[in-house]
Structure 1
């Protein structure tokens, strides 16, 4: 059975975006230090990405407007808006809980929950995330979009790995 993994970065005070939705603060403490590429290793384990509309829109308008950076994966974008899907990007208006349950049962590599917060909240509240890969960025934002907001239950986790570099800390947890 496929695993569902959250792979995301957050500020030290728990935000994934600033109060305007920006992510320009996603870097280490020193621009001269070399960051470790944990994404490339993670990407080898997945073949599917799930994201909300806001995350998709930020990628295509701000972060990588000239090319779709996830061409090697099938991406599902949860949205109420009408858009034309392609082979690799599928715009769907479906309950993400139902979609994750369906994807989990299909054959393939693991599924990456890329963002955003509302999508994460729904999946956390149904305890559908198997693994949490969280990079803590050495920044205090004070406000913005919280990663874990409105949790309806306690979910116990087991720490599998930690790694620190350039002031950032990677934490990898799995459900107990």
Structure 2
């Protein structure tokens, strides 16, 4: 059985994951409940995937690397100094992720960003979507989903409410023919 690739992310009601300049300060203005399900989800994964922009942004948000106990792969087109917590990947994203799915382990988390998600969606490599809808409308920004994705049929596994936040958990329904 292949390891599932999971998108766990927050979005505005109008579908943006960040302002046009990449800022996510609007996330912290919402009244949630506890950690909004983050700890429970984090325990279910052992691998983290992210793009270079997201990787660099993590150091703006935290003093230390936030995923030191997980295997972390950062997809980048540029050279980086070695990091004890991260493996930098310059190879083909879909091919690399397909190999990861075959390895032993638990769930694989797509931390971000929009570019990596887009590549994985177009490669039909995302198995679950856990999306927290924030009661915010930005009007413009970086959209969660880009255009021209393949059609996917999803099954709603669960909904949760965390204060003013609604979390939707969908799994890809492979029993339904996809075009």
Runs of 4+ in 1 over 2 A off after TM superposition: 27-30, 33-37, 84-88
Summarize deviations over 1:89-119 as a string: whole Å, max 9, x none.
0111122111110100011111101100011
The alignment's C-alpha RMSD in Å is 1.4
Using the size of structure 1 for normalisation, the TM-score is: 0.92
1:150 aligned to which of 147, 151, 163: 147
Q: Secondary structure at the match of 2:26?
A: coil
Give the corresponding residue for 1:98: 95
Summarize deviations over 1:69-94 as a string: whole Å, max 9, x none.
11010110000110133342011112
CA distance in 2, matches of 1:154, 1:173: 14
After TM superposition, list the pairs within 5 Å mapping 1:120-139 onto structure 2: 120-139=117-136
Q: Secondary structure at the match of 1:80?
A: coil
Give the corresponding residue for 1:41: 40
Using the size of structure 2 for normalisation, the TM-score is: 0.91
After TM superposition, list the pairs within 5 Å mapping 1:1-176 onto structure 2: 1-27=2-28, 29-30=30-31, 34-60=33-59, 62-64=60-62, 66-176=63-173
Asked whether the equivalents of residues 28 and 138 of structure 1 are also in contact (C-alpha less than 8 Å), the reply is no
CA distance in 2, matches of 1:137, 1:127: 26
With over 3 angstroms needed to count, the CA separation of the structure-2 counterparts of 1:82 and 1:29, relative to structure 1, is closer
CA distance in 2, matches of 1:47, 1:149: 27
Unaligned runs of 5+ in 2: 174-179
CA distance in 2, matches of 1:155, 1:27: 31
